[in-house]
Structure 1
Amino acid sequence: MNSTVLTKNSTTPITSLDQAELKIRRAGIIRLNPEGQEQVDGEELLQTVCGFNLESKTVAQAIKRQIAKHEFCEGKDFTTSMLQSSGGRPRRVYHFSVNAANHVLLSAMTQEGKQARQEAIDEKRKQQLTDALNIPQSSEKPALDQRENDTPQVLLEINMATSLKAIAFAEALGFTGNQKLLSADRLLKSQIGFSPLEAMGQRQLIAPVQKMTFTPTQLGQMMTPPQDAREVNRRLEAARLQTRIDRQWIPTDLGTPFCEILDTGKSHHSGTPVKQVKWYQTALDRLVPRADAAPETVPMDLNSHDADPPLYGSDEDCEPIPRKPKRKRNRYELDDYFSLVELGEFIGRSRQHVVEVLEKLRIIKWTGQGKKGKYLLTDKGWQYGLMYDPTETLFHNRQSKRLTTSNAQPVLGYDILKFFH
């Protein structure tokens, strides 16, 4: 039983859940929640994709009608959260699962039944998984249950062969290293009830690299005297461990053994992926102190004490001293950290939106009374950033006694981007 719906700004009919999911993914409204699960904002689904023309005060009612219509269950098909608004009461926000969002889109302006569509999509996904693992199909019992008379050795051989196919399947999806093995193990346990890792008595895998990596800011704090990230990057460049290309630091062949390149999962406005370089502590052994430039001296004519000094910027100067451009407020231009304003600009949202999300996640908190206060990192927030004083151009750790009295402000590393997908 098929239903057809034409979505806003689209002339292509959507007749299946797969097509509905593709439409939603192309709209870019699927995001990850803090637990790493995909979810779809209810208002964006109805307004942007389904083409409903709703006023802000009627959005919640329209979402509730969809929930009642499809008999969605809270916790499985949708979740809710409270969004703190500026100056008013908190607003309830609805988040659908991807599967529930598919049903909402497919049934928009139609009355087709949910059960038939759900059975069709479940059967198709089961078929895809069966084909990938090459597991024989049966309408009665799983293949392993039909071999009750086989010896343990035969069953083990079957499970081992299926495990190798699961690992190959995970690798085809792009998983590597320990993540490939863990993904294959979870797949096997959920589908056939066999866990290779548990069977071998291994519930955890040892990471292949046992070295900690550090940002240039963290490397600078290990140096004597401490250096800021810009100076560390200059020294890494002077040691020929990295080079700057299109405003990004790229490790050289000489520097590759001393670092790791991590994918942050975000993209620049140009579309290029945002990657972060972190260094092993051994990279410090390759750095040499930067020789400070000797101050320029002007010979003094002892016989002309009354001579006027040259006027900087006059015709006597071939190159007037350039003035340092004023830095914009709340933009610190650190290589490894965002200010709250810079984070908002990077993700294309306002500073207020960033603050609301970080307060909701309990990463920052307001201290003080009224406008005479500031944001500080919480205990959880110190996992994602530091406190930076732009006046003194130095970082404060969580034990600093001057966190509230100085001009220190929260700055957050690239890891914070996972909360803004």
Structure 2
Amino acid sequence: MAGSGIDYEALFAVTPSPYMVLGPDLVIADVNEAACRVTGRSREDLLGRYLFDAFPENPADPDAEGVRNLHASLQRVLRSRQPDTMAPQKYDIPVAGQPGVFEERWWSAINTPVLGPDGQVVWIIHRGEDVTSFIRSRRPREDTALSDAEAMEVELYARARELRRLNEELGQAHARERQVALTLQEAMLRSPHLARHRDTAVRYLPATGSLNVCGDWYEVVDLPENRYAVAVGDVVGHGLEAAAVMGMLRSALSASVLALEEPASALDVLGLYARYVEGALATTVVQAVVDTRARRITYSSAGHPPPVLLHQDGSCDLLDQATDPPLGARPEHVPRPQADLPYTPGDTFVLYTDGLIERRGEDIDAGLQRLTDALARHARHGPERLADALLAHLGVSSGARDDIALLVLRL
């Protein structure tokens, strides 16, 4: 309040609840004394660090979901511009001064956006209350795992809170529709091979104002002889109809590249199939195959924005030498072109859909230049941090007018 004489910086510093202030790129901008005390970390150790670098996943707990759930909550805040209350989470934290040692901790968190004059999220206030003692008081054993009954209780609690939030925002009928849509989307985007590629980050942002479903997709498929295929695609339109078409095309392309193993041949088959799928025409897609033994990328594009190969020195190569029209654009079948290029271990391969770079009334070259500038600026980041930095730098952390799929792979 202007002229109130209240020192808000001092209030923030001494408030008893732990608070962190995050930028849209999830880098820690400020912490109060309570946050330092409860995490056992100093301000100097936390400020300027990517949140999930400062508080990584516990490698000794393969079932840990704290990092994934917190990241999903923060992304919801960026997209919706609304606060997000999380159910109690088990999120172990590193013990200060003991590398590789983690302490079991449980948290109750609320993530609140701070909007700028343009309505975009400029900060996220993360409040994380340590509820470890409460959780332990309800568990007679000393082991770290919840019993089945306790796990069910936590799960039911989380679902109940989420359902109440949906009902408040959308009304009960709309909430059911959205849940069905999200379940459908998650099922269609399930990628069993993706989990094998640890140095890979995926971001999926439906257009703002949608049901949180869209026609963009990504896929990773392992192939024989030290190779794997990666693809991103974009069906025209939004919502459930586009998502349904996306599911059919994504499955068809995955099957094709498994059988044929050549990007251009796989797109040839997909183009023929698309002629018989209502709503599939004019879909854009890029398919690439990474050969880790030969250290080469082979690719073919059906009208899609070019992927980028980011080198460790910050320079970039656009994969734009094998581009053909979108699916169904030609009245007769013509074999699609294919190209390849070498890479160096440590390079980063970035695939995306047009919502990441295209802006109304602007030439696409301007968007591509903005993308490569952002990649050069953040070339030293790992895939997860690079993905968040790209969305923040390009102004789409909270979503955009069009859907966005982003796939970042460290080669």
Structures share fold, TM-score greater than 0.5: no
Q: Name whichever structure is richer in strand by fraction.
A: 2
Larger Rg belongs to: 1
Specify which structure has the bigger relative contact order, considering alpha-carbon pairs within 8 angstroms and separated by 6 or more residues: 2
TM-score, length-scaled by structure 2: 0.23
Compute the TM-score of the two structures, normalised by the length of structure 1: 0.23
